[in-house]
Amino acid sequence: MTKPLAERFWSKVRVANTLHDCWSWLGACTPTGYGNVYDGARTEKAHRVAYMLTFGKIPNGYEIDHLCHRRGCVNPWHLRAIAHAENLRSSRPATATHCPHGHAYTGHRQRNGRRECHVCRKIRESRRVRHSHQGAAA
């Protein structure tokens, strides 16, 4: 007989000295750093299981957000159930001041729901125009 989920789950957690510190997931992880745990029916993200074991069912339409922004953390007091749109707004990329190429974000320009700096937009547009002229010449 297999151990109950709660027992199996908490045996794979390194609990820190305080509730303020992150609790590390020691089990299997995804390539992006989220913990995985099998709940008896399917594989579930470890932080979601930590939330459900501590606070109960995740409300419909909500997802679990890491207040600490550490994907491997399963400290229930670092987790909250929020709507997807709020999770996007509170994520690190949403609060970044510079794009991945180091250019400052100015204004509120978004493309397909993603932030884009003025410099990268100009480069993208220049490539698009150049590519369309090459196609017309052929």
Domain count, the chain: 2
Secondary structure in 3-state letters for 29-48: ECCCCCEEEECCCCEEEHHH
pLDDT in tens, 111-133: 656 677 888 888 888 988 887 87
125 and 68 in a common domain:
no
107 and 89 in a common domain:
no
- Structural domain harbouring 71: 1-95
- Looking at residue 96, its pLDDT comes to 73
Q: What parts of the chain have a pLDDT lower than 50?
A: 1
78 and 52 in a common domain:
yes
Distance CA 134, CA 138 (A): 7
- Looking at residue 104, its pLDDT comes to 83
77 and 115 in a common domain:
no
As beta bridge partners, residue 80 has 65
pLDDT in tens, 49-66: 999 999 999 999 999 999
